[in-house]
Amino acid sequence: MHNTISTRHQNLYLEDVALDDIANQFGTPCFVYSKDAIRQNFMAYKEALGDQDHLICYAVKSNSNLAVLQTLADLGAGFDIVSGGELERVLLAGGDASKIVFSGVAKTATDMRRALQVGIHCFNVESETELALLNATAAEQDKVAAVSVRVNPDVDAKTHPYISTGLKENKFGIDINLAPEIYQRAAQMDNISVVGVDCHIGSQITEIKPFIDAMDRLLVLVSELESMGIRLNHIDIGGGLGVRYQNEDTPTVADYMAELLPRLEGRHESLVMEPGRSITANAGVLLMEVQTIKSNGLNNFAIVDAAMNDMLRPALYQAWMDIQPIKHNSSAQEATYDVVGPVCETGDFLGKGRPLAIAEGDRLCLFSAGAYGFVMSSNYNSRPRAPEVMVDGDKTYLIRARETITDLVRGEQLLPTGS
């Protein structure tokens, strides 16, 4: 983030635009993304992969705004989707269907039909039931479905339990020890073509070792499959690296690839990756305004106009996200604040115990808000969802308008009178 956020004249700027100007123009709360940061973060993967045959599939779930997807599609990105809705978003944004991998534990026959129709790269299959359904659905359409089996390597990613996805007890994937027989069954199905192996051990991983452990386990499986006569085209190592929210010591993509790529040397399989957070998290911020400052004798509260419905991460994952004033306020005394929202829940906080020199009416910036921010937002308490803005150099583009009350009640119906 910090390569695109700067302080000029004691004001925060994103690229070449003052955040205060954005707040004036579009109101608060408001999500703002840097096009250049998205580009730089994606290119870090592309450059680190060098000559290695690869496909970088951006994880759409982290930020699915059409302009964000368009920015990545223009850079040649593939896409990792987990729903029929995400598939349609990628297509609307100009994404290449042949670079889409379809993950997720509960794909429906309708999802599968549409994905087969547009010709996606492959399905990351997560159960035997799904494999059978996909085979039958492909047969109906007289198509062959390309499949990668998502195996569970039982690697502890040492991340928050809600976003750790590669342990035996998680709902994802197939036990790596049972995988060979599943592959054998898949290889015998008429409308299935086995093309790869996939794993995903979790999100916000800030060490390289768990990824390397997972890759080593995948390579053992790949060799075993080869001895059974099943030759794969690709190995999908899953999500990207974690990002720095506070003071995490995060490796660079180049560090990661320096350890991973030697393991693939001389192999024919291409490498597939599904980074999301590491591309968008630090490319975005959430702007908000202090409505009220109050104290209960124990705590000082800065009550802002953004809430858990806009940014769920602190409430859901106890996530720490940096909060700073957009403009320096020389007349305000520094105090320690809990930054909280207007939603009627004690869990509605964005940050606790933050030293801030602020007054009512000041605007704050919540950093690293570009991933799992807007996409997880809701209309709880009948709050319209915030607008999204893209900054490109000194230009700003409204890429999603603030919702209106009409948007909120669209599709709802009063009962007939007198009933």
Average pLDDT over residues 146-167: 71
Average pLDDT of the residues of the chain: 94
Average pLDDT over residues 345-374: 96
- CATH class held by domain 96-275: alpha beta
Which pTM does this prediction carry? 0.95
Average pLDDT over residues 206-232: 94
Min mean pLDDT across 78-82, 126-130, 139-143 is at: 126-130
Torsion-angle region of 264 (φ positive above 0: left; ψ -120 to 50: alpha; else: beta) = alpha
Average pLDDT over residues 202-229: 92
Min mean pLDDT across 71-80, 169-178, 357-366 is at: 169-178
Provide CATH 2.40.37.10 ranges for the chain.
5-33+281-409
Residues classed as catalytic: 344
CATH for 5-33+281-409 is 2.40.37.10
Nearest to 290 by CA among 308, 302, 272: 302
pLDDT-based confidence at 305, cuts 50/70/90?
very high
Whether residue 316 contacts residue 323, with contact meaning beta carbons closer than 8 Å, is answered with no
First to last CA, the chain: 56
Alpha carbon distance 162, 219 (integer Å):
27
Provide CATH 3.20.20.10 ranges for the chain.
96-275
| DSSP three-state, residue 241 | coil
- For residue 351, pLDDT beyond 60: yes
- For residue 311, pLDDT beyond 70: yes
Main-chain dihedrals φ then ψ at residue 303, nearest 5 degrees? -90, 115
